Structure 1
Amino acid sequence: MIRELESQGVVSKTHSPFNSPIWPVRKPDGEWRLTVDYRALNEVTPPLSAAVPDMLELQYELESKAAKWYATIDIANAFFSIPLAAECRPQFAFTWRGVQYTWNRLPQGWKHSPTICHRLIQAALEKGEAPEHLQYIDDIIVWGNTAMEVFEKGEKIIHILLKAGFAIKQSKVKGPAREIQFLGVKWQDRRRQIPTEVINKITAMSPPTSKKETQAFLGAIGF
């Protein structure tokens, strides 16, 4: 995993007085994602004036749209499409098997990465005069009354994103479809529904008896 990221220019070897522990996370598809535990760095990082949109507000807004068809676009490795300023890189150092590395691209786990990513994608879409859509960081949804209308909107947004330097995997584009998932919720005819797999997961869970189990349960019911 480290070697692959290094060959892609996402990370590189370094010597830094800063260091944070690594925290690999297994993705739903079984692959591993390298994240770093930046809690100590996050505590001393000044706040930003902007933040990512509230997910619940986006859901309410999507409910208000006249939609029969939907399509979603998930940008591939969006954070890694964003260069990290050279003067900031030493602060993000981490060690793997005795060798210290740092990120050359926006890292996951840092408190402001989602906000920065969201704002840059938003700026690219605004500059390209993208059709009406909703965006949550690197997840985008378009809608319309016909499949062709939604297809054309999605095609234009993909073109804008590719031109801006973001990567789109075909497997990350869903629709046009009458039923689709966005922000962990199933959408059909402007209505929100809990996905079947989430319901099954909740019903299979035993009542929580510890703080860790309670956190897992709350995460499940929060989708």
Structure 2
Amino acid sequence: MKKLGLVALIEASFFAALAFVFDLLPSIRLSPSISISFAMVPIFLLAFRRGFIVSVLAGFIWGLLQVALGDAARSILTPLQGFIEYFVAFAFVGFAGLFYQPVQTAYRRGRKRAALCLVTVAVFVGSIARYFWHFIAGFIFWGEYAPEGMNPVWFSFVANGVTALGAAVLCSILTVLVLSSAPTLIRPKTAAPVSPPKKAS
């Protein structure tokens, strides 16, 4: 595995910080347990720009920022629950990066519609990957907050399922709109090859 370059590391930190800022903005709150946000969009853009490893790293940094600078303290019940919901879950947003190569290939071949379809699928994959861990933590650690008479597993499935679906739809729409108008965002610049010196005649 190739080592991550400095530029990729800087971009991972930048996009993570952008996601953190977006997460501070008002979200669509349907209930105390269901809140839909577009904060994952920067991580998705990075996933199509840099691939799986860099986007997973960015998601992890985003979770770290949530714990260090955000209001995560109010949502951490135990160290294990905090680790699952802020480090593992946020890192799994980067699973959208598994579609990096097909998306890049589609753009290179001029198949813009196919590329945007792949982007939409990837956003759903990243969203579901993240909220799978929130679902697990939901019924293990938050089960006591389920409405009286409601199974904690079902409560977590409904709350996190609706949140995941809403976030996936919102983020896919925004990501597609961004890439439709500025596809160069996911085409990182590479250094021009250095020509070999000409031999003296």
TM-score interval w.r.t. the shorter chain?
under 0.3
Normalising by structure 1, we get a TM-score of 0.25
Normalising by structure 2, we get a TM-score of 0.27
Structure with the higher helix share, 1 or 2: 2
